[in-house]
Amino acid sequence: MIPELGHFALILAAMLSIAQSSLPMIGAHRADARLMGSAAPLALAGFLAVATAFGALMWSYASNDTTVANVVANSHSAKPMLFKLTGTWGNHEGSMILWVMVLAACSASVAAFGRRLPSALQARVLAVLGMISLGFLAFIILTSNPFERVWPPPADGQGLNPLLQDIGLAIHPPLLYTGYVGYAVTFAFAVAALIEGRVDAAWGRWVRPWSLAAWSFLTMGIAIGSWWAYYELGWGGYWFWDPVENASLLPWLAGTALLHSAIVVEKREALKIWTVLLALLAFALSLLGTFLVRSGVLNSVHSFASDPARGIFILCLLAIYIVGAFALFAWRAPSMAPAGVFSPMSREGAIVLNNLLLCSICAVVLVGTLYPLFLDLLTDQMISVGPPFFNAAVGPLALPLIMGMAVGPMMAWKRAALWPVLQRLWWAACLALLAFILTLAFAGWHVLSALGFAASFWLLGGAVADIADRSGLGRTRLANVFHRARGLPRSAWGAAIAHAGMGVTILGISGMGLATEKLVSVPPGGSTQFAGYEWRLEGIRDVTGPNFTARRATVTVLQDGRVLRVMEPSKRFFPLGRTTTTEAAIHTNLVRDLYLVLGEERDGEAVLRLHNNPLAPWIWLGAGIMALGGALSLSDRRIRIAAPARHRKEATA
Amino acid sequence: MSEATAKKPSRRKLLIYAPLAVAGVAGLGFWAMLRGLQDGSFDPRGVPSALIGRHPPQFTLPGLDSSGLPPLASNDLRSFDRPIIVNFWASWCVPCIIEHPQLMALQRQGVPILGVNYKDRPADAQTFLTRHGNPFLRLGIDVPGRVAIDWGVYGVPESYLLDREGVIRWRWAGPITPEVLSQDIAPLLRRWGA
């Protein structure tokens, strides 16, 4: 009964989204207030329907209902309850429902919190969101129905990919999807603006919080995915430039550019066409990621559900949304005249530079990801574009971007002088130079890591200098400085903290550049020296988990004869899926990670892989700080209490 | 001056169409890829081999005496009038145990499977065959791993499908799972068996 309820709720949601995508649009065109007013209730009802469907699917998982094909394929009664629940979105069908539910939640909040929006704009935005929702609901209902029944029901499910039975991977997709879907809202705002033929400061004021929220979620989603790869895949790496990873990085890069250019629209009413294009691009790249992962055209370790027939459906949706939006852009954008004028040497100019560099990185990653596919298609030649290409191509673009990141926020709007800004940053530059020299002196000839450390301290110093400058340090009394620092707008603090977070992430990445590893074969009782510690293999034993058996090694790490830590890496074998996973043992003290992997056993000896990863945790902590900066900026007064700028303008016009 | 102002809008107009053009071209490419995935001409997952479409290099390997199977040499690969599978395996390789039932299933269908035992001890190899069953028609022992290098083997298990002329048509690096059996090998056997 419950699965049918979910199925009907899904169909109901599709019907509601047909109404949501047409009635408000017609209403906005005819200036019919009643039709426009239907948008908000339809969006709220649509959210309730999709949430009901999602709840029904989750209930089927929780109760291990083996009459539901999706549960049979992806779950098992022996699985812990937490992973039964998170298994709801650990598969293709369930994750699509989650996707649509997040989209419906965004629609509902545009409906609920957007009362101050001009009604025609709100109606158009909700209509576009309804169209997106309709396409994906049709996709679920027609090609990937999660509520399909099986009869007779099998005795139990067929388990879930053991790699997915993990808390990191359980929260990774919802965060990532919230990020992707957040860009659907900025996309809808951009399309609505193109239809209206008008982009102004009020529009920028509405787009910015949405792009900020999407950006924060996407940052966290990518970071947790990378953290998962670090501790679960057992390779000791954190970013592999894998196509699926790149697919999530692309919207992040475009979204970061959007975040910054939206500020210019809001403050100065310049860069309008460009911002609209970025908003379209960020969502187009989100959809591209969904398509690449779901259709099976990519060769990746990550993709889990692939089916060419589904791929064609998604491609058609993409064609409608993206080609439609770009065609609208080509038709309408020329009519939008830029208003604000600025000199190249100004905050706006710095943001233009930021946008150009971010978009170049985005283009490089996009080309590197798609080039092998297109080469295979055109010439039947198989190549793989690996980390060396990406590192070599992204590095030179990232360096000026980071250098500008500290300078940009301190420049004045409209027209600025570079020299005074550099004067206020001289000590950050000294700090960076010192970090560069110290790294080379103590860690050996690691130029890239040394550059990374320099960049990191430059950003951290730049963030401090920015806040100090805004608080008037050196120009007024110290007590006054603290008072002013407290009174700074939260968006200023948010920007400084997010930039500092980037510095922290780069700190971790540079530290990982100095990582060392050792592969040894030791008998039980034997020991080896590595990274200044003695590692003693005490023994290996069999362990039985709820749905796996494992070999678990006990390794004591000794420092000068004292026991520092007992580490227990293991290899799990899941008989249901016939797969093995490695569970690395990690000991961190925030300065370095000791990372231990158990390998093959042969001739009474066990192969151990030892890693010493300096500063590794800061890669993900830095991303957390970035997201925190985003959240702080979101809580800014300017966003909480939306200024009714356009209303007033319209009244006087 | 007037020329410059006349040129500017048209170039700008072209730029405005650029995203549309890029999206369109990419879309057509993806569509072709999906078509290729469906008819089998496009496969991003297959590991390419320099040997595909060619005869394998010459070799002669000793046999595993205790098994009673005949040894394997490159000339043996052409003596069948149907497609064959050459499988590189070892007793110490866990995925080989995973793929073994599929090899046994292929043998029951009458597909000739020729084995190359890679860097293994004869006694261990024999224990493996006794415990899990023998799917092979012929078996060569490649203790130094030379033949595997000549074939460009990534690691065990790895399998090759050769047509009736002894030309390599397909290579799979990794265990033959039931999915590989039904989605790759079965169509290939039909295609090259005709």
- pLDDT tens per residue, range A371-387: 888 887 887 666 667 78
Interface of B with A in 30-49 (CB under 8 A): 30-34, 36-38, 42, 44-48
One-letter amino acid of A141: I
Residues, chain B: 194
In angstroms, the Cα distances linking A476 to A366, A461, A465, A483, A489 are 49, 21, 15, 11, 19
For every residue of A479-543, DSSP letters joined together read HHHHHHHHHS-HHHHHHHHHHHHHHHHHHHHHHHTT-EEEEEEE-TT-EEEETTEEEEEEEEEEE
- Please give the tally of structural domains in chain B: 2
B30, B92, B98 member nearest A297 (Cβ)? B30
Picking from A330-334, A482-486, A527-531, B13-17, which range would have the lowest pLDDT averaged per residue? Answer: B13-17
- For B65-87, the pLDDT digits (tens) are 888 889 999 888 887 888 999 99
Examine the pLDDT at A647 and tell me if it is beyond 60.
no
- Shared domain check, B168 and B80: yes
Examine the pLDDT at A299 and tell me if it is beyond 60.
no
Examine the pLDDT at A300 and tell me if it is beyond 80.
no
A277: chain B residues, CB-CB within 8 Å: 19
- Kindly report the pTM of this predicted structure: 0.82
Note the pLDDT of residue B47: 56
- Shared domain check, B71 and B38: no
- Shared domain check, B145 and B184: yes
Examine the pLDDT at A638 and tell me if it is beyond 60.
yes
Test B20 with A297 for CB contact under 8 angstroms.
Answer: no
B36: chain A residues, CB-CB within 8 Å: 377
B37: chain A residues, CB-CB within 8 Å: 295-297, 308, 311
- Shared domain check, B78 and B26: no
| Residue with tokens 């205790």, as numbered in its chain | B66
Examine the pLDDT at A53 and tell me if it is beyond 90.
yes
Domain enclosing residue B29, as ranges: 1-44
How far apart CA A170 and CA A162 sit, in angstroms, is 12
Q: For A604-627, what is the mean pLDDT? A: 92
| Residue with tokens 């004067």, as numbered in its chain | A423
Q: How far apart are the first and last CA of chain A?
A: 57
Q: Kind and range of the H or E element at A597?
A: strand A592-602
- Shared domain check, B100 and B30: no
Test B31 with A315 for CB contact under 8 angstroms.
Answer: yes
Examine the pLDDT at A603 and tell me if it is beyond 80.
no
B24, B33, B46 member nearest A377 (Cβ)? B33
Examine the pLDDT at A316 and tell me if it is beyond 70.
yes
- For A137-189, the pLDDT digits (tens) are 999 999 888 998 988 888 887 765 666 677 887 888 889 989 999 999 999 99
Reference A12, options A48, A56, A60; nearest CA is A48
A374: chain B residues, CB-CB within 8 Å: 29
Note the pLDDT of residue B91: 86
Examine the pLDDT at A92 and tell me if it is beyond 90.
no
A-interface mutation test, from B33, B43, B184, most A Cβ less than 10 A away: B33
**Which CATH number is B112's domain given?**
3.40.30.10
- Shared domain check, B154 and B99: yes
Test A334 with B12 for CB contact under 8 angstroms.
Answer: yes
One-letter amino acid of A236: G
Give the gap in angstroms from C-alpha B20 to the nearest C-alpha of chain A.
5
- For A226-280, the pLDDT digits (tens) are 998 888 877 678 888 888 888 899 999 999 999 999 999 888 888 889 999 999 9
A333: chain B residues, CB-CB within 8 Å: 16
In a domain, B22, yes or no: yes
How far apart CA A10 and CA A140 sit, in angstroms, is 9
Note the pLDDT of residue A329: 93
In a domain, B51, yes or no: no
Identify the DSSP state of A408. G
Q: For A212-232, what is the mean pLDDT? A: 92
A-interface mutation test, from B10, B20, B52, B102, most A Cβ less than 10 A away: B20
More confident residue, A474 or A8: A8
In a domain, B109, yes or no: yes
A309, A311, A329 member nearest B19 (Cβ)? A329
- A606, A599 in Cβ contact below 8 A? yes
Sheet of B138-142, strand order: B138-142, B113-118, B84-89, B158-162, B168-173
In a domain, B100, yes or no: yes
Identify the DSSP state of A562. E
Note the pLDDT of residue B6: 43
Max avg pLDDT among A230-239, A255-264, A466-475, B153-162: A255-264
Burial code (b: 16+ CB inside 10 Å, e: under 16) for A334-349 equals eebeeebebeeebbbb
In angstroms, the Cα distances linking A566 to A383, A510, A535, A594, A628 are 43, 28, 10, 11, 34
Test A308 with B38 for CB contact under 8 angstroms.
Answer: yes
- Shared domain check, B66 and B39: no
Note the pLDDT of residue A56: 95
B-interface mutation test, from A377, A572, A573, A582, most B Cβ less than 10 A away: A377
Q: Would you say the ipTM is above 0.85? A: no
**pLDDT-based confidence at residue A534 (cuts at 50, 70, 90):** very high
- Shared domain check, B67 and B40: no
B100: chain A residues, CB-CB within 8 Å: none
- Shared domain check, B72 and B37: no
Q: For A551-567, what is the mean pLDDT? A: 91
- For B115-134, the pLDDT digits (tens) are 999 888 888 899 889 888 89
Around Cβ A353, how many Cβ atoms within 10 Å? Answer: 16
In a domain, B52, yes or no: no
- For A323-333, the pLDDT digits (tens) are 999 999 999 88
Examine the pLDDT at A648 and tell me if it is beyond 60.
no
Note the pLDDT of residue B44: 62
- Shared domain check, B160 and B69: yes
In a domain, B55, yes or no: no
Give the gap in angstroms from C-alpha A46 to the nearest C-alpha of chain B.
30
Picking from A572-576, A602-606, B168-172, which range would have the lowest pLDDT averaged per residue? Answer: A572-576
- Shared domain check, B75 and B30: no
How far apart CA A487 and CA A498 sit, in angstroms, is 19
Note the pLDDT of residue A650: 41
Note the pLDDT of residue A48: 97
In a domain, B97, yes or no: yes
Reference A220, options A261, A186, A172; nearest CA is A172
| B15 in contact with A, Cβ within 8 Å | no
The residue of chain A with its CA nearest to that of B40 is A308
Test A277 with B38 for CB contact under 8 angstroms.
Answer: no
Max avg pLDDT among A455-459, A525-529, B28-32: A455-459
Note the pLDDT of residue A162: 67
A304-A307-A310-A311 Cα dihedral, nearest 10 degrees: 90
A600: chain B residues, CB-CB within 8 Å: 92
Q: State the average pLDDT for chain A.
A: 87
Q: For A61-83, what is the mean pLDDT? A: 86
Give the gap in angstroms from C-alpha A311 to the nearest C-alpha of chain B.
7
In a domain, B50, yes or no: no
- Shared domain check, B94 and B31: no
